Amino acid sequence: MATTPDQVEAQPAAAPPRAAAAARKTRHRGEGQWGMGHHTPLNANEQFKKDDDGLNVRTRIETIYAHRGFDSIDPTDLRGRMRWWGLYTQRKEGIDGGKTAILEPHELDAEFFMLRVRIDGGRLTVAQLQAIAEVSQRFARGTADLTDRQNIQFHWIRIEDVPAVWQILEAVGLSTTEACGDTPRTVLGSPVAGVAEDEIIDGTPAIEEIHRRYIGDPSFSNLPRKFKTAVSGSPLLDVAHEINDIAFVGVVHPEHGPGFDLWVGGGLSTNPKLGVRLGAWVPLHEVADVWAGVCGVFRDYGYRRLRNRARLKFLLADWGAEKFRQVLQDEYLKYQLIDGPAPEQPSGVWRDHVGVHKQNDGNFYVGFAPRVGRVDGALLGKIAELAAEHGSDRLRTTAEQKMLVLDVPEERVESLVAGLEALDLRVNPSPFRRGTMACTGIEYCKLAIVETKEKGRSLIDELEARLPEFDEPLTININGCPNSCARIQVADIGLKGQLVTDENGEQVEGYQVHLGGALGLEAGFGRKVRGLKVTKDGLADYVERLLTRYQAERTEGERFAQW
Ligand code: SF4
């Protein structure tokens, strides 16, 4: 039987390591690891985090900045601590990608913010979605994007409006706490937790417990960098567990029954690594403790000297799984984890739950696909209305920029599907609409070199028109820069935004192509095709040619990732 949140006892935050003094002499110097006694900040980020906890900026926003306006914001708060509350300055309009690397940060800052709402487990009620829709329409010029970490992001937020936005969100139990920054980010969870007919275990109580105990807890608000978590008991492995810092994946232990297989150290960006199994089985009621232990290892032993080596994956690469597990057990948990089995291969290729599916209680859930996660406040309001009209009070976001309505009685399914389709939210989308994701890109992101969302939308439309018969699972992920917010390395076709030279010798927006990446069955990174770059304008032609060749050359049953 699933443990409820009330049955999971609160535990204190992970204790600091005892072996620090002994280890101090033997470890190499200079990585800024607290657990090795290195507490002197080695870069500007570590300095501002030491000077004042990022969580404390909220008081200044409410009492000073919201009243005195954008120009009153301390620069370190503006480009540092405000992230702890989900706020990033957005890119100034009209600055092209060629200027991204050469301008000073303040020259790229607009006087508006992106604000990320954390939606742990992707779980939303109708009232929560209505609140998000209200914020979008009143304070964000109608903007809203579904992210591939189950969050929803606004743009055009003014500092003056932030307290009112928090009031609306918090009144319905939502928050922006630690939605960005060097913190424990939104916990991914299976969108069909608790309702899927084939579920191994419902991870919801663990997600709620992690959130209740540790989000906003100063014990974990100064990590070396971001810390991403995923929990899923679905046999579809639907939370991209391979690329999270920590993941709990549903398995059945031959003696102990359903629980979770523990993975650590996954992450993409410029040095991608797949997560590694520690070979440990974790029962539901221990997930939050183990989470705190691993997060504690990261906080204390994670590298803080260089930002590009500060993710958990670098520590894991140096230590290896065996040592990592030993330190976790000896210094943090104070007990031995139980050895356990690996998860089965995923039970399907698509992991987004799009379509109509029967629940374990006889009702149905309906998954639908906007284009590349782009929605808006008015549309979200209509989705909330449709859900309520069809007897549902539960919606979900997915890790694939899609959404679900749960708990729909069988006799109401057809009407809901018709209502969604009328809003251009496809329940039976083409593989192109279903499998294409895009990051924020140059429209709002200060790191971007190229545009992504509009390109993604037009690419879907063009491929649907050019290849109407194409009916294979396929992922096309578009990023606006070398970071990997849209997971380019694990897509069938990954497109990394950069400036490229066109046939006239001009520098134009385009993409470096990565082919053959995957999560799930054959998890691995796509190979960068040396020299293969396409211009933004030539992208649809390129993908059409590639897919036409694949269709002509593939052997029976051969998927794109295997071709
Ligand atoms: Fe911005 Fe780059 Fe991330 Fe896209 S991948 S959202 S351009 S940082």
Question: 5 pLDDT exceeds 70?
Answer: no
pLDDT-based confidence at residue 25 (cuts at 50, 70, 90): very low
Question: 9 pLDDT exceeds 60?
Answer: no
Q: What is the mean pLDDT of the chain?
A: 92
pLDDT-based confidence at residue 14 (cuts at 50, 70, 90): very low
CB of residue 481 inside a 6 A radius of ligand 1: yes
488, 403 Cβ separation under 8 angstroms: no
For the segment 112-131, the average pLDDT, to the nearest whole number, is: 98
Cα separation of 228 and 266, whole Å? 9
For ligand 1, mutation pick of 108, 445, 514 (most atoms within 8 Å of CB): 445
What pLDDT is stored for residue 530 in this prediction? 62
How large is the angle between the packed helices 539-553 and 453-466, nearest 10 degrees?
40
Higher pLDDT pick, 530 / 306: 306
What pLDDT is stored for residue 24 in this prediction? 45
Higher pLDDT pick, 36 / 558: 36
**Percent of the chain at pLDDT above 90?**
84
CA of 430 to the centre of ligand 1 (A): 26
Residues 6+ apart with CB under 8 A from 414: none
Question: 185 pLDDT exceeds 60?
Answer: yes
For ligand 1, mutation pick of 149, 453, 483 (most atoms within 8 Å of CB): 483
The highest-confidence range among 100-104, 308-312, 481-485, by mean pLDDT, is 308-312
pLDDT-based confidence at residue 529 (cuts at 50, 70, 90): low
Strands 394-397 and 123-125, by their bridges, are antiparallel
Q: What pLDDT digit, counting tens, does each position of 385-434 carry?
A: 999 999 999 999 999 999 999 999 999 999 999 999 999 999 999 999 99
CA of 479 to the centre of ligand 1 (A): 6
CB of residue 450 inside a 6 A radius of ligand 1: no
pLDDT-based confidence at residue 524 (cuts at 50, 70, 90): confident
What pLDDT is stored for residue 1 in this prediction? 32
What pLDDT is stored for residue 330 in this prediction? 98
pLDDT-based confidence at residue 471 (cuts at 50, 70, 90): very high
279, 295 Cβ separation under 8 angstroms: no
265, 294 Cβ separation under 8 angstroms: no
For the segment 348-367, the average pLDDT, to the nearest whole number, is: 96
Cα separation of 217 and 351, whole Å? 32
- Cα 355 to Cα 55, 398, 425: the distances in Å are 40, 13, 11
Q: Could you please report the per-residue DSSP string of 363-429? A: -EEEEEB-STTEEEHHHHHHHHHHHHHTT--EEEE-TTS-EEEEEE-HHHHHHHHHHHHHTT-BSS-
Beta strands in 92-219 (DSSP E): 109-117, 123-125, 143-146, 152-157, 184-189
What sections of 172-203 are H helices per DSSP? Answer: none
**10 Å Cβ neighbour count for 199?**
21
Question: 26 pLDDT exceeds 70?
Answer: no
Higher pLDDT pick, 561 / 37: 37
Tokens representing residue 494 in the block: 């990954």
Cα separation of 321 and 68, whole Å? 50
Give the closest residue to 336 by CA, choosing from 286, 390, 408, 388: 286
Give the closest residue to 490 by CA, choosing from 262, 273, 316, 327: 273
Instruction: List the Cα angle 173/179/180 in 5-degree steps.
Output: 165
For ligand 1, mutation pick of 88, 447, 496 (most atoms within 8 Å of CB): 447
Residues 6+ apart with CB under 8 A from 174: 117, 118, 119, 128, 131, 132
Question: 511 pLDDT exceeds 50?
Answer: yes
Instruction: List the Cα angle 439/445/450 in 5-degree steps.
Output: 70
CA of 327 to the centre of ligand 1 (A): 34
Q: Comparing 104-108, 469-473, 519-523, 553-557, which segment has the lowest mean pLDDT?
A: 519-523
CB of residue 440 inside a 6 A radius of ligand 1: yes
Q: Comparing 143-152, 250-259, 273-282, 484-493, which segment has the lowest mean pLDDT?
A: 484-493
Q: Could you please report the per-residue DSSP string of 37-50? A: T--S--SHHHHHHH
Cα separation of 549 and 546, whole Å? 5
What pLDDT is stored for residue 28 in this prediction? 52
pLDDT-based confidence at residue 517 (cuts at 50, 70, 90): confident
The secondary structure of residue 526, as a DSSP letter, is: P
CA of 149 to the centre of ligand 1 (A): 14
Question: 190 pLDDT exceeds 60?
Answer: yes
How large is the angle between the packed helices 410-422 and 377-389, nearest 10 degrees?
160
112, 453 Cβ separation under 8 angstroms: no
Residues 6+ apart with CB under 8 A from 191: 121, 122, 150, 238, 353, 367, 396, 397, 398, 404
Give the number of residues written for the chain. Answer: 563
Q: What pLDDT digit, counting tens, does each position of 144-155 carry?
A: 999 999 999 999
For residue 207, how far is the Cα from the chain centroid? 15
What pLDDT is stored for residue 244 in this prediction? 97
Cα separation of 478 and 485, whole Å? 9
Question: 92 pLDDT exceeds 70?
Answer: yes
Q: Which atom of ligand 1 is nearest to the CA of 497?
A: 7
Residues 6+ apart with CB under 8 A from 461: none
What pLDDT is stored for residue 531 in this prediction? 65
Question: 362 pLDDT exceeds 80?
Answer: yes
Question: 77 pLDDT exceeds 70?
Answer: yes
CB of residue 97 inside a 6 A radius of ligand 1: no
Q: What is the ipTM of this complex?
A: 0.99
What pLDDT is stored for residue 526 in this prediction? 72
Question: 16 pLDDT exceeds 60?
Answer: no
Cα separation of 446 and 367, whole Å? 32
CB of residue 425 inside a 6 A radius of ligand 1: no
Which amino acid, 201? I
CA of 483 to the centre of ligand 1 (A): 6
For the segment 210-238, the average pLDDT, to the nearest whole number, is: 98
Give the closest residue to 233 by CA, choosing from 200, 261, 205: 200
For 243, half-sphere exposure in the C-beta direction (CA atoms, 13 angstrom radius) is 27
Question: 29 pLDDT exceeds 80?
Answer: no
524: exposed, middle or buried (Cβ count in 10 Å: 0-12, 13-18, 19+): middle
CA of 507 to the centre of ligand 1 (A): 20
What pLDDT is stored for residue 276 in this prediction? 96
Name the closest-CA residue to atom 2, ligand 1.
Answer: 481
CB of residue 495 inside a 6 A radius of ligand 1: no
CA of 235 to the centre of ligand 1 (A): 30
Strand ranges across the sheet with 364-368: 123-125, 394-397, 403-408, 364-368, 355-358
HEC states along 284-330?
A: HHHHHHHHHHHHHHHHHHCCCCCHHHCCHHHHHHHHCHHHHHHHHHH
CA of 512 to the centre of ligand 1 (A): 14
Q: What pLDDT digit, counting tens, does each position of 40-56 carry?
A: 999 999 999 999 999 99
